[in-house]
Chain A
Amino acid sequence: MELTADKIKELVVKPENKVYAKTPLLTDKTLSYCPGCGHGVAHRILMELVEEMGLENDTIGIAPVGCSVLAYEFMNVDMQEAAHGRAPALATAIKRLWPGKFVFTYQGDGDLAAIGGNETLHACNRGENITIIFINNGIYGMTGGQMAPTTLPGMRTSTSPYGRDTHMMGNPLKMTEIVAMLPGTYFVTRQAVHTAKHARKAKKAIKKAIEVQLEGKGTSFVEIVSNCNSGWKMTPVKANQWLEENMLDYYHLGDIKVDGKLVKEIV
């Protein structure tokens, strides 16, 4: 029998053979993100987990200010919008009032590390039983690509057009290593979603972060090193290559704290 494209389609495209489809916990709205932006992949793996773990009626998410300000339009679960950088404070209140719910924040690096740096540190230091998903693309994507605390040394942005000069502008903040040193955090990890392999690994890490919260162990914190191809002024494919070669050289992937213990030397 000759396998024509039509024949293959007829034999294979059946409901029982479906192995991957967009989760119903993402709405049908077109994502507001630029083509190729890592926010979309991060949204999807998070919502897949909420579905697979049967938490759709027991989840409350906090959306940030940044490109993902409209996350509540896309994630089909209960959501609250926080003021810029204030997601951990809002999550603290919600989790304390609803201890049985899975409560997460979803925040960019401008939101979490700049204006919200203070909130982040104190929520983690208090060991609030929440999950923080931190999308680090090294830039303020939404407002036009300004330098963030996480911008790499020498990296050009609209407010560091000659590259980040660390003498004048300081060094990139490794928020994830910093929160790992606080006694309140129980699981701290850095992941990426730019390839299928990385995205699958990131999904496992977020699953663990959710479990940690459900067990009441303290703060779980997942950084996702992501791209901002518009802010970086690259095609999506080029941005992912740049991420691999530059971002991952500074922001090393892997678990930093597991079961309340540091598993990596912090440098």
Chain B
Amino acid sequence: MAKKVQGYIEIDKEKCKGCELCVVACPKDIIRMSKDVNGKGYHYAEFFNPEPCVGCADCAVVCPDGVITVYRARIEV
């Protein structure tokens, strides 16, 4: 079995203001804006494809509102 670095992010969608900076920052292009809106009326960021995520945290570092939590682990595949 091979090992792989796997990342995963959690986005606090109610606190997201929909600025889209994380979408630009993600080197793997796996964040997009939702079609739905949150309680504030913003289209929030959505993590739509976890598999390529390496947990680099670039999205969380550029998020002005600190709504992204990042996890990273070596898993067996």
Contact = CB atoms under 8 A, between A and B. Distances in A.
Contacts of B60: 20-21
B64 A18 contact: no
A1 to B, nearest CB: 7
A13 B8 CA distance: 7
Interface in B13-47: 15, 17-21, 24-25, 42
A39 interface: yes
Contacts of A194: 62
Interface string A18-35: 111111001000110111
A162 to B, nearest CB: 29
B71 A22 contact: no
B57 to A, nearest CB: 4
- Residue among A5, A12, A37, A194 with max Cβ neighbours from chain B (10 Å): A12
A24 to B, nearest CB: 11
Contact of B72 (A1, A5, A19, A200): A19
A19 B21 contact: no
A13 B10 CA distance: 9
Given A9-B50, A11-B73, A195-B62, A20 B68 contact: yes
A14 B64 contact: no
A199 B17 CA distance: 20
Contacts of B15: 30
What is the size category of the interface that chain A forms with chain B? 35 or more
Given A8-B6, A35-B42, A196-B61, A22 B66 contact: yes
Contacts of B6: 3, 8, 11-12
A35 B18 contact: yes
B77 A196 contact: no
Contact of A14 (B7, B20, B58, B73): B73
A36 interface: yes
Contact of B64 (A8, A17, A19, A40): A40
A129 interface: no
Contact of B21 (A1, A26, A200, A240): A240
Interface of B: 6-8, 10, 15, 17-21, 24-25, 42, 49-51, 53, 55-73, 75-77
Interface of A: 1, 3, 5, 8-9, 11-14, 17-23, 26, 30-31, 33-41, 44, 193-196, 199-200, 235-237, 240
Given A8-B75, A44-B66, 7 more contacts: A5-B49, A8-B6, A8-B8, A19-B71, A31-B65, A36-B64, A235-B20
